[in-house]
Amino acid sequence: MTNYTPKPEHKFTFGLWTVGNRGRDPFGDVVRPGKTPVELVHLLAEVGAWGVNFHDNDLVPIDATPAERDRIVRDFKAALAETGLCVPMATTNLFFDPAFKDGAFTANDPRVRAYALQKTMNAIDLGAELGAKVYVFWGGREGTETDAAKNPMESIKRSREAMNFLCEYALDKKYDLKFALEAKPNEPRGDIYNSTTGHMLAFIQTLDHPEMVGVNPEVAHEHMAGLNFVHGVAQALDAGKLFHIDLNDQAFGRYDQDFRFGAVNMKSAFFLVKLLEDNGYGGSRHFDAHAYRTEDYEGVKEFARGCMRTYLILKEKAARWNADQEIQAILAEINADDGSMSRYFGKYSSEKATTLKDESFDRPALGARGLNYERLDQLTVELLLGVR
Ligand code: GCO
Ligand code: MN
Ligand code: MN
C-alpha cells in the first residue's frame, strides 16, 4: 500500500492567496477571518507543503512604509526558518489596485505602464531576497472589454518591451531567476491578451532573452478556453518551457472556479500527472486553487491535503498504468512497427520522396483495421476506479 504523505521531493507548493483565500466573490463578502502570512506558513507546514509562493502585496501591503516592510519580511523569514518551508516562486499583483483597471504593461496611460514596471522591479527584489527561483507574470488586466480602446498591435509591442526591460533588470541585478508567463482567456478582463499557453509560447520567441522565459500553464485557464490542458503542457515540455505549473480544477464552460486539484476532471488530471511524471518534470507542483466558500479553516486544510493526496494517488495510478500488462500489450499492438516504412521517415531527400511516391498502399486495409482504443480506455477507467 502506497503512502500518500507529501514529502519535500514532491515539491508541493501553495500561494499565500490560495489557503489565505477568504471566500469573497462578486456576490458575497468574506466568510473566513483573515490570517497573517506567518500564520499561513504554519498552516502550510501543518498540512505538509514544501513551499509557499506570494504576490508582493500578499506579504507586504501596497502602502506599507519601508520600516513595516522590513519587519514583515523579517517575521516571514523567521516563520520559514522555523517550519523549513521555502519560497520557490514569487509574482506581482498587477490587477487589484484601481490604478491597474486598464492593465499594467498594456495600459494606455504611460504613467500606469511606468508604475507597473517600478512595482514589478520592487516585487522581483522581494522575491529574490526570499530565494524565489521562478518569477510568474499573470496579466489579469492586460486586455480589453472593447477593442475600440486599445490597438492590439500596440499592446503586443508594449508587452514585449516590458518583458525585455524586466529580463534585463533581473540580469543586471544578477538574480538567479527565470520568468514564467501565465495565460488566461478572460476574467477579470473581457478578453485577455496572449490568451492561451500556445499564444505565450509563440510570444516568448519574440523576446530579447527567450532562454530565460517560459510558461506557467494553469488547468482552469485552458479549460475555460475549452482546450485540452494535457496537450498544451506537452507542447510546453517539448519546447523546454515548462518552468512552473498551476494545478487546480474547473468545469468546462464556467467562470474561473479554482477547485481542488482533481475535483472535476479526474481523467484529464490523471493524464496530466502521468505526463509530468513520465517526462521527469522537475519544477514545483503549485496548487493555485482555494477551498469552497462553505469551509472554515479545517475545510481549508482538507482542501490543501486533498490537492496533494490526489496528485500522489494519480502518480501511483500512472505507475500502475505503465506496469499493467494488458494495457501495455494493447500499446505494443497499437505501436507495432515492422520497420518496413522506416526508409521513408526522418530527413527529407529527393530520392526518398521519389521512392515513396512509387510505393503502393492497401488503403481499404488501413481503414478497416480496428485499433482497440475502446478496450484501452475502459481499462484506464477501471484502473482509475480502483477495480484493477
Ligand atoms: C487567477 C490567476 C492567478 C495567478 C497569480 C499568480 O486566475 O487569478 O490564476 O491566481 O496565478 O496571480 O500570478
Ligand atoms: Mn487562475
Ligand atoms: Mn494561476
Same domain, 342 and 304: no
Residues 94 and 197 in one domain: yes
Ligand 3 (ion): residues with CB under 5 Å are 218, 246, 288
Whether residues 203 and 331 share a domain: the answer is: no
Both 206 and 150 in one domain: the answer is yes
Q: What SS3 state is found at 121?
A: helix
In a shared domain, residues 296 and 369 = no
Cα(60)–Cα(70) distance, rounded to whole angstroms? 9
Q: How many domains, in total, are found in the chain?
A: 2
Assess whether 112 and 232 both reside in one domain: yes
Helix spans in 65-107 (H): 66-83
Q: Are residues 29 and 168 in the same domain?
A: yes
* pLDDT per residue as tens, the chain (388 positions): 578 999 999 999 999 999 999 999 999 999 999 999 999 999 999 999 999 999 999 999 999 999 999 999 999 999 999 999 999 999 999 999 999 999 999 999 999 999 999 999 999 999 999 999 999 999 999 999 999 999 999 999 999 999 999 999 999 999 999 999 999 999 999 999 999 999 999 999 999 999 999 999 999 999 999 999 999 999 999 999 999 999 999 999 998 999 999 999 999 999 999 999 999 999 999 999 999 999 999 999 999 999 999 999 999 999 999 999 999 999 999 999 999 999 999 999 999 999 999 999 999 999 999 999 999 999 999 999 999 9
Shared domain for 228 and 363, answered yes or no, is no
CATH number, domain with residue 192: 3.20.20.150
Task: Residue 38: give the domain boundaries.
Answer: 8-321
Q: State the residue for C-alpha cell 506570494.
A: 54
Do 340 and 298 lie in one domain? The reply is no
Instruction: Please tell me whether residues 21 and 149 are part of one structural domain.
Output: yes
Alpha-carbon span 49 to 45, nearest angstrom: 6
Asked if residue 3 belongs to a domain, the reply is: no
Q: What is the dihedral of CA 113, 118, 121, 126, to 10 degrees?
A: -130
363 CA distance to ligand 1 middle (Å)? 49
181 close to 211: Cβ distance less than 8 angstroms: no
Out of 21, 179, 182, 194, mutate this one to test ligand 1's pocket (max ligand atoms within 8 Å of CB): namely: 182
Q: Measured from the CB, is residue 142 less than 6 Å from ligand 1?
A: no
